[in-house]
Amino acid sequence: MTADQDKSIKSLVEQRIPGKSLDAAFYTSDDIFKLDMREIFGRHWIFVAVEPEVAEPGDALVVNVGLSSVILVRDDNGDIRAFHNVCRHRGARMIPEGATMIGNIVCPYHSWTYGLDGKLKFYEHMGAEFKPGCNSLKPVALRSIGGLLFICLSDNPPTDIDDMARVMEPYLAPHNLREARIAHQADLIEEGNWKLTMENNRECYHCGPNHPELTIPLFAYGFGFSPTELDEQGRAEAQRYTDLVDASCSRWEGAGVPSREVDELTGRPTGFRTQRLPIDQSGESYTMDTRAACRIPVGAVQDKALGALSFWTQPNSWHHFMGDHIITFTALPLSANRTLVRTTWLVHKDAVEGVDYDLERLTEVWKATNQQDADLVAIAQQGAEDPAYEPGFYSPYTEGLVEKFAAWYIERLKDSLA
Ligand code: 3BY
Ligand code: FES
Ligand code: FE
């Protein structure tokens, strides 16, 4: 990036008006996309996978984040390691994107072979001076929080991941994600900038008009409303919802299941938020009838009406933990106007498809919801590319978390451009 480009981006960052959507360039410019990949995705903790994706020693998963490619592998001691997928000989990409099983990491080009600890074990014709010990694979910083795998591509990762781990481990522990099994995974490419994907995730203003399936389990009042716009009946319903949230939270916390809201979305590199909220009707799961889709609980909690523990992280993930299954989402930018959204459904490791759960029933609400969200992100991108676009006001009642996402993004860029 030239100094001039850096300067004009810097002034766009400085000019951002709190409470309004971002300037169009943040959604459309290739230069800002490169900056995002360098400063946001290159220097923050990114959610990329779950431990059950590398359940056994030798299980490997390659995840691409921008131009970087990372190998996640379970070693023979059962520890998960992460390495840059770049050979130390002449840099070839060693393993293609996706899941595989390996005994060693073998570069296809000239057969340099690395152990699952990253050490160079085999090579030929390099002469007496060559030092294999200085040619190990480059490690990538990796943290598992309750079985959710976060990587950081920087050599100097933000240390406040420790705070997120300390808060979140007790929230996630009862759900046994580490022991769960993947029932299904789906990749969806959204035709929009990654920030439009994230902004869309941070509000439910759009849920009523767009998500007929999701709004069966989801309470309409759960994601904000304007009190002055409610009539008497609406106020009574909103009050019933608030009372239910309080009563449910007290019941769950009383049973030793952490549920209270924690909001640390802004003011730190590793922003996050969590809250367990009741589910409508029978209160069990994100299904079309709100009843559990899997008859074996995924975690240790027997209360079937466990609602959903949601966990949102900056810059790229959200997760819902129910009594019977877990859903995790990662957003990975592909270009200024394309984003990969990967959704993973997990059930108890002993649950058998067709016996304990029906895959269609387990996945139908979020498959439909994801497609609807992808369509919304696509029209948001089209609008952002229109010369008539200008930043618009966020609702103070239903888009507070969108503002927190935008504020976090801008504060991170200010920090890095300072
Ligand atoms: O998945 C989420 O976290 C948000 C909130 C509810 C619906 N949604 C897009
Ligand atoms: Fe990998 Fe030569 S580039 S062995
Ligand atoms: Fe949505």
Among 157, 184, 201, where does a domain finish?
157
- Calculate how far, in angstroms, residue 321's C-alpha sits from the geometric centre of ligand 1: 13
- What ipTM score was computed for the predicted complex, to two decimals? 0.83
- On whether residue 16 sits in a domain, the answer given is no
In this prediction, residue 49 carries a pLDDT of: 98
In this structure, the number of other CB atoms found within 10 A of the CB of residue 243 comes to: 10
SS3 277: strand
Q: What is the total count of domains within the chain?
A: 2
- On whether residue 127 sits in a domain, the answer given is yes
- On whether residue 358 sits in a domain, the answer given is yes
In this prediction, residue 355 carries a pLDDT of: 98
Establish how many alpha carbons lie within 13 A of residue 380's alpha carbon, considering only the half-sphere containing its beta carbon: 28
Q: What angle do CA 291, 293, 297 make, to 5 degrees?
A: 95
Is 129 exposed, middle or buried (CB count within 10 Å of its CB: 0-12, 13-18, 19+)?
A: exposed
Same-domain pairing of 370 and 250: yes
Residues 6+ apart with CB under 8 A from 229: none
Domain containing residue 109: CATH number: 2.102.10.10
- On whether residue 1 sits in a domain, the answer given is no
Is 387 exposed, middle or buried (CB count within 10 Å of its CB: 0-12, 13-18, 19+)?
A: exposed
Q: Which of 190, 206, 207 to mutate to test the pocket of ligand 1 (most atoms within 8 A of CB)?
A: 207
Residue ranges in 67-224 assigned as alpha helix (H)? 161-172, 194-201, 207-210
* Tokens linked to 299: 């975690």
How many whole angstroms separate alpha carbon 357 and alpha carbon 362?
7
Same-domain pairing of 150 and 223: no
Q: Is the CB of 110 under 6 A from ligand 2?
A: yes
- CA-based nearest residue to 313, from 192, 83, 146: 146
Same-domain pairing of 134 and 185: no
**120 in Cβ contact with 63 (< 8 Å):** no
How many whole angstroms separate alpha carbon 242 and alpha carbon 298?
27
Same-domain pairing of 205 and 345: yes
In this prediction, residue 302 carries a pLDDT of: 87
Same-domain pairing of 184 and 333: yes
Q: What angle do CA 146, 328, 86 make, to 5 degrees?
A: 80
> In this predicted model, what pLDDT tens digit does every residue of 365-412 receive, in sequence order?
999 999 999 999 999 999 999 999 999 999 999 999 999 999 999 999
In this structure, the number of other CB atoms found within 10 A of the CB of residue 131 comes to: 8
- On whether residue 394 sits in a domain, the answer given is yes
- Phi then psi for 184, rounded to 5 degrees? -165, 150
**139 in Cβ contact with 83 (< 8 Å):** yes
How many whole angstroms separate alpha carbon 149 and alpha carbon 51?
7
Largest CA distance in the chain: 85
Q: Is the CB of 265 under 6 A from ligand 1?
A: no
Same-domain pairing of 167 and 216: yes
Among 101, 136, 157, where does a domain finish?
157
Phi-psi label, residue 32: left if phi above 0, alpha if psi -120 to 50, beta otherwise:
alpha
Q: Is the CB of 204 under 6 A from ligand 1?
A: yes
> In this predicted model, what pLDDT tens digit does every residue of 100-151 receive, in sequence order?
999 999 999 999 999 999 999 999 999 999 999 999 999 999 999 999 999 9
Among 127, 157, 187, where does a domain finish?
157
Same-domain pairing of 70 and 204: no
* Tokens linked to 272: 């996050």
Q: Which of 198, 204, 280 to mutate to test the pocket of ligand 1 (most atoms within 8 A of CB)?
A: 204
Domain containing residue 263: CATH number: 3.90.380.10
Q: Is the CB of 409 under 6 A from ligand 1?
A: no
* Tokens linked to 375: 């369509």
- On whether residue 20 sits in a domain, the answer given is no
- Parent domain of 70: 46-157
Q: Is the CB of 201 under 6 A from ligand 1?
A: yes
**245 in Cβ contact with 239 (< 8 Å):** no
How many whole angstroms separate alpha carbon 306 and alpha carbon 233?
27
Q: Which of 109, 120, 123, 136 to mutate to test the pocket of ligand 2 (most atoms within 8 A of CB)?
A: 109
Same-domain pairing of 144 and 178: no
- On whether residue 25 sits in a domain, the answer given is no
pTM > 0.95: yes
- Calculate how far, in angstroms, residue 201's C-alpha sits from the geometric centre of ligand 1: 5
Residue-wise pLDDT tens for the chain (418 aa)? 677 777 799 999 999 999 999 999 999 999 999 999 999 999 999 999 999 999 999 999 999 999 999 999 999 999 999 999 999 999 999 999 999 999 999 999 999 999 999 999 999 999 999 999 999 999 999 999 999 999 999 999 999 999 999 999 999 999 999 999 999 999 999 999 999 999 999 999 999 999 999 999 999 887 788 888 899 999 998 999 999 999 999 999 999 999 999 999 999 999 999 999 999 999 999 999 999 999 999 999 988 899 999 999 999 999 999 999 999 999 999 999 999 999 999 999 999 999 999 999 999 999 999 999 999 999 999 999 999 999 999 999 999 999 999 999 999 999 999 8
Same-domain pairing of 238 and 252: yes
In this prediction, residue 164 carries a pLDDT of: 98
Same-domain pairing of 117 and 186: no
- Calculate how far, in angstroms, residue 89's C-alpha sits from the geometric centre of ligand 2: 5
* Tokens linked to 196: 């439009």
Same-domain pairing of 119 and 213: no
Residues 6+ apart with CB under 8 A from 155: none
In this prediction, residue 255 carries a pLDDT of: 94
In this prediction, residue 338 carries a pLDDT of: 98
- On whether residue 269 sits in a domain, the answer given is yes
* Rg of the chain in Å (alpha carbons): 22
Same-domain pairing of 174 and 152: no
